[in-house]
Amino acid sequence: MDFVSQTLIGFDRVKSILEELGIKLTQNSDGKVYPMSREAKSVVEILLYEALNLKVEILYNQDVKNISKDRDFIIQTSSNSFKTSKLIIASGSSVYPQLGASNIGLDIASSFKHNIIPTSPSLVQLTTPNPIKSLSGYRQKAKVKLISNGTTIQEVSGDVLFTNYGISGLAILDISYLVAKGLNNYEYIELSINLLEDLKTLSINKSSNKPSKLWLSGFINQKLAQIILSQNSLLDKKEKDINTKDIKKIIYSLKNFRLEIDGTRGEKGAEVMAGGIDTRELNYNMSSKLVDNLYFIGEVVDVVGDRGGYNLHWAWSSALRLVDI
């Protein structure tokens, strides 16, 4: 069995721990679970209250700069030095530096000779070499195919949102892990987006003199209509001149909207970092196989989950693995 299946804790256990602490949960009809308060702040405050009750000392504004080891670990922060016999690294990854994220966990692991699986931002927006700026702000439910070197490698459904740098939306975050991986391997990445899955045909009035753009914007977003008609050299036509072949071309373009992808929005836009400390060098209780009394939990480890709470679940699961230390 792989490392994650061995270490993951069942959701029921996490649920009962949270509920015991007073964080009540509620489940939506789609199966997603939220705090009943619908507020992250109340979750933080209840967890903090519990930690202080257990006499956990929390030191704020202490940037960890370096950790070394003789008999004990020596932790050097921006203003102090501490010694400890056991050390748990739960420093997350470097995504979202706006919130104080840093690479310190991987730096410490490297200094203790741990192998690091190369990192790449994941659950992240994507950039295109030629952003379609006029479509910026256009959001649509769509089916997205991820094509790498000409082969479809993933297909997802969900929101897409065109932006002035490229594309975002839930469907895009869902495919971003494989996109980043492909780009790291210098693959040619493109998306084929079905923007109107249910569209079968478009009707025309053979006596209408309407410009084609006005005709098509009766069916689809006006900015999109302009782009699709321009791609098919139909912008100058009148509604009455649109023929069956034109309609087929328009529908094909809407169902196979192509977008080349040349990058991601990186750490500043990502929700999670793929890669990290090599799980082959960790035991199932999250201890290091290389250094006694050293533990790594959460996102600093090379485990990445899909969108939908799986990354927080990993952080909690790996932390719960420590209870026996």
Ligand X SMILES: Cc1cc2nc3c(=O)[nH]c(=O)nc-3n(C[C@H](O)[C@H](O)[C@H](O)COP(=O)(O)OP(=O)(O)OC[C@H]3O[C@@H](n4cnc5c(N)ncnc54)[C@H](O)[C@@H]3O)c2cc1C
Residues at the site binding ligand X, with contacts judged by CB under 6 A: 63-64, 90-92, 95-96, 100-102, 104, 271-272, 298-300, 309-312, 315
Handedness of CA 240, 245, 246, 251 (dihedral sign): positive
Contact between 128 and 262 under an 8 Å Cβ cutoff? The reply is: yes
The smaller minimum CB distance to ligand X, of residues 54 and 58, is found at: 58
In the complex, least distance from residue 89 CB atom to ligand X, rounded to whole angstroms: 9
The smaller minimum CB distance to ligand X, of residues 46 and 101, is found at: 101
The helix/strand/coil state of 189 is: strand
The smaller minimum CB distance to ligand X, of residues 31 and 100, is found at: 100
Provide φ and ψ at 131, rounded to 5°: -55, 140
In the complex, least distance from residue 78 CB atom to ligand X, rounded to whole angstroms: 8
The closest residue (CB) to ligand X is 298
Distances (CA, A) of 274 to 93, 129, 176, 183, 267: 9, 24, 11, 14, 11
The smaller minimum CB distance to ligand X, of residues 103 and 253, is found at: 103
In the complex, least distance from residue 96 CB atom to ligand X, rounded to whole angstroms: 4
In the complex, least distance from residue 300 CB atom to ligand X, rounded to whole angstroms: 6
In the complex, least distance from residue 178 CB atom to ligand X, rounded to whole angstroms: 18
Distances (CA, A) of 176 to 46, 110, 121: 33, 27, 9
CA-atom Rg of the chain in angstroms: 25
The smaller minimum CB distance to ligand X, of residues 39 and 262, is found at: 39
**Residue from 304, 286, 317 nearest 176 by CA:** 304
